Amino acid sequence: MNIDAIQNGIVIDHITAGRGMQLYELLGLEKLDCSVAIIKNVHSVKQGRKDIIKIDADIPVNLDVIGYVDPGVSVNIIRNGELVEKRSIDMPETLTNVIFCKNPRCITTCEQEIQHVFKLTDRKNKVYRCLYCETKAN
């Protein structure tokens, strides 16, 4: 398999095997007009298997989405073919318009202008709850 190196862009590395497609969808990468490579089940010394996403464009990505889906992922910023920044992503304290409340009685269901905000309530079990009605996110 031959995947070209990128000159300017982002590499999302150390994704838990099988979560690459979920990140691809939540980040809206299908809408990009550049090369995006999703490499699944790559051998990893630390993890056994991992997924990698390479984006051949220097675009902003929502780090909260990445931290929600798979905390511990590395985001590498590449410029002129060189690694200029490496970030380890943790779980965000709040999520805004990333996930949506399923409670039909929540104010976010009837008031369209209200943002869907979830707070991290249990880091160990990765539990987020709606800011308005405290419904647990799935």
Answer yes or no: is pLDDT of 110 > 80: yes
Q: Specify whether 72 is located in the same domain as 111.
A: no
78 and 108 assigned to the same domain:
no
- Which residues, 6 or more positions from 30, have their beta carbon under 8 angstroms from its beta carbon? 24
In a domain, 2, yes or no: no
Q: What is the pTM of this model?
A: 0.84
What is the rounded radius of gyration, in angstroms, for the C-alpha atoms of the chain?
17
* Structural domain harbouring 68: 9-88
Spatial separation of the C-alpha atoms in residues 5 and 8, rounded to whole Å: 9
Q: Are 127 and 118 in contact (CB under 8 A)?
A: no
Could you tell me the CATH number of the domain that includes residue 34?
3.30.70.140
Q: Which two tokens stand for residue 77?
A: 């910023």
Amino acid identity, position 91: M
pLDDT on residue 4: 74
- Domain membership of residue 135 (yes or no) is no
Confidence of residue 2 (pLDDT cuts 50, 70, 90): low
